[in-house]
Amino acid sequence: MEIQGNCLTPFQRKFLLKSLETDLRPEYRRRIEIMLLADIGQSQAQICKALGCSQETARHWITMAQTGNAHNWCDRRMGRPKAVNKQYLARLKELASHSPREYGYPFERWTAQWLSKHLAKELGIKVSNCHINRLLKEMGLSTRKISDTKKVTHVTKDCSITINDLQSSSELDSLWPLNLINTSN
């Protein structure tokens, strides 16, 4: 005679028990155990205490068992899905290394927002602007314009001072023609 549970069919219970005999990741094992404990009448609080899981996790898998979806315990992958793959990274690098005009855009330099939009349209993978900038930084790339020399501009009320990164001492001599006089005599 089959044991009658609260929410699982005899077939589902047998399937879950058989699945527990395999080598499973702890997270998958916990999903099955939640559904089996719910089937024997354990409350959500009791299940959380026994398995050390969150109330949200217990509630979700109890609902899966109650709605006849116990067989889907392995369908939902663990963690956040990985959107960016090697193809995405290669294409991002290629796009960032060329002018957007080559791809039909009217502007001269890419922004993270436009790279994200273009790649979402082309590859179907949506990534935030911040993540695009992070990926570019990891590749040693940027959407910012690279200048030949470092330039610092300080603006005050009536004037501005621009300081360039000097390349050699000969440039310094031409900018500051000073005649030093020895006054220690």
Q: What is the pLDDT of residues 140-168, one digit of tens each?
A: 988 887 655 555 555 666 666 666 655 55
CB atoms within 10 A of CB 42: 20
Nearest by Cα to 131 from 84, 67, 172: 84
Cα 58 to Cα 34: distance, rounded to the nearest angstrom: 6
Q: What is the pLDDT of residues 55-108, one digit of tens each?
A: 999 999 999 999 988 888 877 666 665 678 889 899 999 999 999 999 999 989
Cα 81 to Cα 78: distance, rounded to the nearest angstrom: 8
Cα 28 to Cα 19: distance, rounded to the nearest angstrom: 10
